Amino acid sequence: MLAGAPVRFSSGENYSALEHRQIEAYIPLLGRYIPVHDLFTYEPEKDQYRCTQGAILRNHGLKMAGGYGNYHYIASFSACQNCPIKESCYGNRDRKSLSVTMYYREYERMEARSRSAKGKRLKRRRSTVVEPVFGSLLN
């Protein structure tokens, strides 16, 4: 099944529910999704990130706050102390850490679908067919 929806339905929880029901959705990205900086590569087999300087940021668990869950990845103190880019990477903190929404993979897959040729075509179609109708109903 194929589905498109307005941006107000943009949430990791919605993306996850749609995938679970095997619905191929195309919903604009918004909300808690913040792409991980290019300096870090995710290693799914170990559920960790690695920076360009070789430091490993290990998963320190899921923390819930305000109804939202984030995984926290933290580098060891010693891995960051002699890093040549530490000031630009983590400022005055003692080491690098990343906070990643628990729905990060769902957001990534939605982003990939939205960037695909099919996603772009559906976005153009929606903006020419659906949105003008809503605009005329409001006026």
Nearest alpha carbon to residue 97 among 74, 81, 69? 74
Q: What are phi and psi of 38, to 5 degrees?
A: -60, -15
Q: Is the pTM of this model over 0.95?
A: no
Give yes or no for a contact between 26 and 43, defined as CB atoms under 8 angstroms apart: no
Tens digits of per-residue pLDDT, 61-72?
999 988 889 999
Helix ranges, 50-116 (H) = 77-81, 86-90, 104-115
Give yes or no for a contact between 42 and 49, defined as CB atoms under 8 angstroms apart: yes
* Amino acid 136: pLDDT: 45
User: Is residue 1 very low, low, confident or very high in pLDDT (cuts 50, 70, 90)?
Assistant: low
Question: Is the per-residue pLDDT at 6 higher than 90?
Answer: no
Question: Is the per-residue pLDDT at 59 higher than 90?
Answer: yes
